């Protein structure tokens, strides 16, 4: 397997290669029922913990444990099953990365009608996106940043986020998924969102807490401190493609990945290898299409 497929530059190949050997040996010792792990799969965990084998092993074991203990979420990876929610322009992955190379995700909570969609279904959208972008080489090394637009947050939303779900969401955010969370930005957050955040906060590690930024209603003035205008949609103070277009583009990407996501959901470990020629549309082409549209 080439360096580009494994991720990282030539200077990283030697430590990555050693890490793969060590992580595979230790993971197979810990998981007696598993006989094989692919390089592509293990690489995600190594990059998510900067090639630290000890931390990568912990992350891998947590990922396996979380999948076993939360099948109602881990096996719910079907974009078509939540197409009605996606078509409300609830979620997008922006076509351009930020200045550090991080993927930028947007969630528009006001588009989620709690009478139509349960919280675990809404959370599954995040998991589908996470599974897809965790296969991207640059995302493995540079991570992601998420913007949560809380305009429209209501009591109906709050009542769906119970302590059990809050714990599961926090677990995935903190140490159960092979992605680096570089920043979480909340905009338009109402006062009565704070009790829900207070319920989630204790389950988050310090490093994640320090990366949470609350921008309020004047977010366009402060988001620019973290994101260049070319990255963000106009609705968020930027100069990039409009939010409806990028939401629809990512919905299409999720639908195209339905078979892949179903394979991950039903696989005992989630270790699905994707040949480069079968990967989704390139980021460059996607960005160009949106900019032209």
pLDDT tens, position by position, 65-97? 989 988 888 888 999 999 999 999 999 999 999
Q: Establish how many alpha carbons lie within 13 A of residue 199's alpha carbon, considering only the half-sphere containing its beta carbon.
A: 16
Q: How many residues does the chain have?
A: 293
Give the pLDDT confidence score for residue 115 in this predicted structure: 94
pLDDT tens digits along 215-256:
999 998 899 999 999 999 999 999 999 999 999 999 999 999
Give the pLDDT confidence score for residue 203 in this predicted structure: 77
* pLDDT over threshold 60, residue 2: no
Question: How many CB atoms neighbour CB 7 within 10 A?
Answer: 21
Strand order through the sheet with 103-108? 91-93, 103-108, 144-149, 181-187, 212-216
Packing angle of the helix pair 53-69, 10-30 (nearest 10 deg): 50
Domains in the chain, please, with CATH?
3-69 (1.10.8.20), 78-268+278-292 (3.40.525.10)
Give the pLDDT confidence score for residue 282 in this predicted structure: 47
Tokens of 156: 């109906």
Which string of b and e fits 204-224 if b means at least 16 CB within 10 Å? Answer: beeebeeebbebeeebeeebe
- 119 vs 168, more confident: 119
pLDDT tens digits along 22-38:
999 999 999 999 999 99
Give the pLDDT confidence score for residue 8 in this predicted structure: 58
Give the pLDDT confidence score for residue 192 in this predicted structure: 75
Give the pLDDT confidence score for residue 285 in this predicted structure: 43
Please provide the average confidence, as pLDDT, over all residues in the chain.
88
**Rounded to whole angstroms, how far apart are CA atoms 73 and 125?**
10
DSSP per residue, the chain: --HHHH-S-HHHHHHHHHHHHHHHHHHHHH-TT-----HHHHHHHHHHTTT-HHHHHHHHHHHHHHHHH-HHHHT---GGGGHHHHTTT-EEE-SS--TTS-EEEEEEGGG--TTTS-HHHHHHHHHHHHHHHTTSHHHHHH-EEEEEE-TT--HHHHHH--HHHHHHHHHHHHHSSS--EEEEEEES--GGGHHHHHHHGGGS-HHHHTTEEEEETTHHHHHTTTS-TTTS-GGGT-SSS-HHHHHHHHHHHHHHTHHHHHHHHHSSS------GGGSPPPHHHHHHHHHH-
Residue with tokens 């993927």: 103
Contact indicator for 171, 66 with CB cutoff of 8 Å: yes
> How large is the average pLDDT for residues 275-289?
50
**Rounded to whole angstroms, how far apart are CA atoms 186 and 196?**
13
* pLDDT over threshold 60, residue 148: yes
Give the pLDDT confidence score for residue 12 in this predicted structure: 64
**Rounded to whole angstroms, how far apart are CA atoms 269 and 264?**
8
222: left (phi over 0), alpha (psi -120 to 50) or beta: alpha
* pLDDT over threshold 60, residue 291: no
Give the pLDDT confidence score for residue 6 in this predicted structure: 53
Among the residue ranges 103-112, 137-146, 167-176, the one predicted with the least confidence is 167-176
pTM, two decimal places: 0.88
Give the pLDDT confidence score for residue 41 in this predicted structure: 97
Give the pLDDT confidence score for residue 70 in this predicted structure: 86
Give the pLDDT confidence score for residue 247 in this predicted structure: 98
Residue with tokens 């949609």: 233
For the chain, the C-alpha Rg in angstroms (whole number) is 19
């Amino acid at each position: 397997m080439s360096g580009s497929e494994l991720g990282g530059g030539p200077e990283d190949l030697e430590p990555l290669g050693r890490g793969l050997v060590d992580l595979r040996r230790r993971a197979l010792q810990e998981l007696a029922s598993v006989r094989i792990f692919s390089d592509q799969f293990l690489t995600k965990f190594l990059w998510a913990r900067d090639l630290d084998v000890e931390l990568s092993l912990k992350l891998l074991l947590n990922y396996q444990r979380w999948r076993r203990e939360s099948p109602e979420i881990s096996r719910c990876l079907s974009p078509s099953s939540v197409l009605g929610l996606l078509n409300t322009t609830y979620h997008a992955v922006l076509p351009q990365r930020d200045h550090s190379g991080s993927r930028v995700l947007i969630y528009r909570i006001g588009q989620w009608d709690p009478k139509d969609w349960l919280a675990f279904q809404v959370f599954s959208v995040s998991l589908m996106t996470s599974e897809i972008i965790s296969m991207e080489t640059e995302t493995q090394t540079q991570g992601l940043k998420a913007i949560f637009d809380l305009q429209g947050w209501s009591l109906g939303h709050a009542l769906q986020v119970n302590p059990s779900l809050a714990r599961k969401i926090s677990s995935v955010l903190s140490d159960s998924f092979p992605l680096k969370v570089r920043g979480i930005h909340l905009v338009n957050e109402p006062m009565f969102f704070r009790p829900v955040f207070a319920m989630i906060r204790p389950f988050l590690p310090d490093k994640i807490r320090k990366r949470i930024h609350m921008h309020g209603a004047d977010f366009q003035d402060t988001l620019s401190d973290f994101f260049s205008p070319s990255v963000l949609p106009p609705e968020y103070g930027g100069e990039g493609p409009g939010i409806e277009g990028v939401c629809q583009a990512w919905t299409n990407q999720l639908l195209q990945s339905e078979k892949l996501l179903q394979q991950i959901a039903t696989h005992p470990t989630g270790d699905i290898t994707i040949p480069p020629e079968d990967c989704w549309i390139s980021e460059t082409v996607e960005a160009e299409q949106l900019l032209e549209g």
